[in-house]
Amino acid sequence: MSTSNNLVPLSICVLTVSDSRTPDNDTSGDWLVQALQAEGHRLAARALLPDNRYLLRAQVSQWIADEDVDGIIVTGGTGFTGRDSTPEALLPLLDKEMPGFGELFRAISFEEIGTSSLQSRAFAGVANATFLFCLPGSTSACRTAWEKIIRSQLDSRTGPCNLAALRPRLKE
């Protein structure tokens, strides 16, 4: 079922969180940029930052404050190692959490990687009418999240409802 025949393109930022990746080997960030552009969305900005909760919070806060940014996809920093701090950095910024995203992501991941899916602290929510999706750092996890959840929810033609169509009402 479709809500409209025309895609409403969104402006989306991509942030890679990693102490080891560089612009030359950021396969997850590269994949997300290609995927969102292939669907007709615009890349508003892109960054690669180390696992530092204050740098993450500062960058994402800047994007959240920008009225031209519709969504942010973060890859990395959602695991359990000592430096993984994406949830601690970004959950405090959310106006509303979207618990179903993390639950659904882990359920889908279970089918792909079994009980290793419990190690994911992937989450999503809304801040200042901006969607925020925080994914694991692996390219396969980004592909799973995008192809099985995010792509259709950011597509204004997806029915019976989608996040893209909801965006104008988030500040009511």
Closest CA to 54 of 88, 16, 96, 18: 88
Dist. CA 135–CA 138, nearest whole Å: 9
Rounded mean pLDDT of the chain? Answer: 93
Tell me how crowded residue 112 is: count the other CB atoms within 10 A of its CB. Answer: 13
Q: Partners of 96 in the beta sheet?
A: 126
Closest CA to 154 of 37, 9, 5: 9
pLDDT confidence bin for 4, thresholds 50/70/90: low
3-class state of residue 133 by DSSP: strand
Tell me the whole-structure pTM to 2 decimals: 0.94
Q: Partners of 13 in the beta sheet?
A: 45, 72
Looking at residue 23, its pLDDT comes to: 92
- Would you state the structure tokens that stand for residue 53, as one six-digit string? 């909760």
pLDDT confidence bin for 1, thresholds 50/70/90: very low
- For the chain, domains (ranges, CATH) are 11-169 (3.40.980.10)
Dist. CA 66–CA 60, nearest whole Å: 10
